[in-house]
Amino acid sequence: QVQLVESGGGLVQAGGSLRLSCAASGRIFGNYAMGWFRRAPGKERDFVARITWTGSSTYYAASVKGRFTIAKDNAKNTVYLQMNSLKPEDTAVYYCAAGPITVTEWNCNSWGQGTQVTVSS
């Protein structure tokens, strides 16, 4: 398994920006994807974005597309989530995830501890 440590959360005003980082340790295989989920208070955990470890194919939730950008640095084993034009509804605990991905599913078998993002109106 891969160990994941998130950083970069915080408090920001609506319209502002934050960048989350997820540093991975352990072996990341070529068929892996890494990405982000979030859980808002009282809600289910939702998918946010992912990127494949080779090829850099990206996929976003409709709610963040055009505002969030996921990127990676293979040399640093780190994935980033640049969040722009933040809205109060983006307030959540953000979790980094990693695992093998196929055409039909992404098996997230490693999770970070989460980092809080709070957007004030």
pLDDT of the chain, 121 residues: tens digit per residue: 799 999 999 999 999 999 999 999 988 888 999 999 999 999 999 999 999 998 789 999 999 999 999 999 989 999 999 999 999 999 999 999 999 999 889 999 999 999 999 999 9
What is the predicted pLDDT for the residue at 103?
A: 86
Q: How many beta carbons lie within 10 A of that of residue 94, not counting itself?
A: 23
CA distance readout (Å), 104 to 74, 95, 107 = 24, 22, 10
Residue 17: its pLDDT value, please? 98
pLDDT attached to residue 96: 98
| Residue 84 C-beta-side C-alpha neighbours within 13 Å | 6
Separation CA 27–CA 117 (nearest Å)? 28
Q: For position 56, what pLDDT does the model report?
A: 81
Beta-bridge mates of residue 39? 45, 93
pLDDT value of position 28:
81
**What is the pLDDT, as a whole number, of residue 8?**
96
The answer to whether the CB of 95 falls within 8 A of the CB of 39 is yes
